[in-house]
Amino acid sequence: MRTETENAARVVVIGAGMAGARLAARVPGVTVIGEEAHAPYNRVLLAEVLAGRYEPDVIALPPAETRRGVRVVRIDRAERQVLCDDGSATGYERLVLATGSNPVLPPLRGLGHTLPDGVHPFRTLDDCLALRAAVRPGVRAVVIGGGLLGVSAARALAECGAQVVLAQQGEHLMERQLDAEAARMLRGHLEALGVEVHTECRVRGLRCTDGAAPAVRAVELADGYELEAEITVLACGVRPRAGLAQAAGLEVRRGVVVDDELRTSDPYIHAVGDCAEHDGTVYGLAGAALEQADVLAEVLAGRPARYGGTRALTRLTLRSPSSAPGVAGAPAALDLAAFGDSRPLPGDDVIRLADATRGAYRTVVVRGDRLAGGVLFGDLAAVGTLARTWQDDDPLPADMPLLHLLTNDGGF
Ligand SMILES: Cc1cc2nc3c(=O)[nH]c(=O)nc-3n(C[C@H](O)[C@H](O)[C@H](O)COP(=O)(O)OP(=O)(O)OC[C@H]3O[C@@H](n4cnc5c(N)ncnc54)[C@H](O)[C@@H]3O)c2cc1C
């Protein structure tokens, strides 16, 4: 094993994803070690690459000095160095974990540690390029999971001409972000794109071909029904990548536990992004990863900064290119934005405006004198004002009729 120790870098970052790249852009001279072979890219835009709308270079993030294709396999806290799978060791004065998250592999019959041919996670650019290479018009694809990832994947596959079935275990799509009405509209939009949506649909297993290199041929539902599948996408959520931290003895609950200065239980090690757990929350959202990286950049520069949590907005655009097979009659594009908690508690005020002919729907939940959350669908004219009010946690003006929250742009 090579034990070359490089010049001790003041700051070493593990992970060249969205948080790691942001930190590198803010802190001069950091060493970033990333296991992916590609230059850092905007993961949020992967569905656009899958749909063929963007080439990978379009989603590249500003270049940062990165050691690519190198995985950190161990943190040696006593020696303050990280050990990599290429045999190298790199010393640090401050270490930052920005290792992101891993896709959850659901406990399905027929799914072991090695994925059968045709079964794809949807996390990295390589996952996305492999999926893109496998998709051709008419191919039968089943997407397991109807959250943000599953919906994005299903839409992109349909745009490529695949025959897509989306299997969602929950009652409606994107349960974390949407209320039932917005989810119904989203479902209608996906169906207009040719996606067959099944909710309250539990997948039990995969049926694969026999032989040394099994390939998926069907997805088996809990009621025994089989959906024919040449491609299966696993979009069943993500789990923070905290294995390195755990092995190094850092405090890990769901993610690597950090304080308001994004510091772990070791004062020389920080964590940001999907792998970090702050105040009991693992965000799993790009907005939080970038905000945490910005705060940490200040902390590392010795300036006072504290992270107080992120009020992140989720946005999704569903386009329907007329060139894609099976999308005749689908609306041209549909925008969706969700923030906070759109499921009301007893005592909350709920304000709703729906316009079925224009496919527009807006709802906000008001708790006391604050916005608790909301969903805008199809028409995002009011999203800027609403999102700002929510992000700043400003009290709502006492004399303003609540309906104005939704109609300050002139209404429908
Ligand atoms: C398809 C898709 C769509 C998404 N859409 C949205 C969206 O619309 N809105 C939103 O807010 N969020 C979205 N997200 C989530 C968002 O991408 C993440 O929250 C964000 O990327 C988190 O940034 P991160 O830097 O913490 O992790 P990542 O971007 O995942 O980066 C972590 C990096 O660390 C590397 N790494 C891990 N371990 C090691 C190691 N031991 N050695 C070296 N390198 C290592 C990984 O390979 C990876 O490159 C989406 C995610 C996906 C996959």
Residue nearest atom 16 in ligand 1 by C-alpha distance: 286
Q: What is the pTM of this model?
A: 0.90
As a whole number, mean pLDDT of residues 198-227 equals: 93
Confidence at 6, pLDDT banded by 50, 70, 90: very low
Residue 181, burial from CB neighbour count under 10 angstroms (0-12, 13-18, 19+): middle
Secondary-structure breakdown of the chain: helix, strand, coil percentages, each rounded to the nearest 5: 25, 30, 45
Alpha-carbon dihedral sign for residues 128, 129, 134, 139 = positive
Does the CB atom of residue 120 touch ligand 1 within 6 A? no
pLDDT attached to residue 7: 41
Contact 21, 61 (CB under 8 A): yes
Ligand 1 pocket test target in 102, 274, 294, 391 with most atoms within 8 Å of CB = 274
CA distance 216 to 220: 11
Question: Is 377 in a helix, a strand, or coil?
Answer: strand
Tell me how many degrees the CA angle 282-268-34 measures, rounded to the nearest 5. Answer: 65
Residue 327 scores a pLDDT above 60:
no
- Single-letter amino acid, residue 225: Y
CA distance 399 to 159: 47
Does the CB atom of residue 118 touch ligand 1 within 6 A? no
As a whole number, mean pLDDT of residues 295-315 equals: 91
Contact 117, 214 (CB under 8 A): yes
Does the CB atom of residue 336 touch ligand 1 within 6 A? no
pLDDT attached to residue 111: 86
pLDDT attached to residue 2: 38
Measured from the Cα of 43, ligand 1's closest atom is 17
Mean pLDDT score of the chain, rounded to an integer? 89
Contact 184, 177 (CB under 8 A): no
Residue nearest atom 5 in ligand 1 by C-alpha distance: 44
Using N-to-C axis directions, what is the helix angle for 180-192 and 148-159, rounded to 10°? 20
Measured from the Cα of 284, ligand 1's closest atom is 19
14: closest CA among 72, 64, 59? 72
* pLDDT tens digits for range 352-411: 888 877 778 888 899 988 888 888 887 777 778 888 888 888 888 777 676 677 775 533
What's the CA-to-centroid distance between 333 and ligand 1, angstroms?
Answer: 26
Q: Say which range, 134-148, 199-213, 249-263, has the weakest mean pLDDT.
A: 199-213
Residues counted in the chain: 412
Contact 46, 122 (CB under 8 A): yes
* pLDDT tens digits for range 219-252: 999 999 999 999 999 999 999 999 999 999 999 9
pLDDT attached to residue 406: 73
What's the CA-to-centroid distance between 43 and ligand 1, angstroms?
Answer: 6
Residue 287, burial from CB neighbour count under 10 angstroms (0-12, 13-18, 19+): middle
CA distance 19 to 292: 8
Does the CB atom of residue 95 touch ligand 1 within 6 A? no
* pLDDT tens digits for range 28-51: 999 999 999 999 999 999 999 999
As a whole number, mean pLDDT of residues 70-97 equals: 97
What's the CA-to-centroid distance between 28 and ligand 1, angstroms?
Answer: 22
Residue 329 scores a pLDDT above 60:
no
Confidence at 5, pLDDT banded by 50, 70, 90: very low
Written as six digits, the tokens of 234 are 């696993």
Token pair 């950090």 in the structure block, residue: 258
Residue nearest atom 23 in ligand 1 by C-alpha distance: 18
* pLDDT tens digits for range 56-81: 999 999 877 899 999 999 999 999 99
* pLDDT tens digits for range 147-202: 999 999 999 999 999 999 999 999 999 998 888 888 998 999 899 999 999 999 99
Alpha-carbon dihedral sign for residues 39, 41, 47, 53 = negative
- DSSP-derived pairing of the beta strands 81-84 and 72-76: antiparallel
Measured from the Cα of 19, ligand 1's closest atom is 25
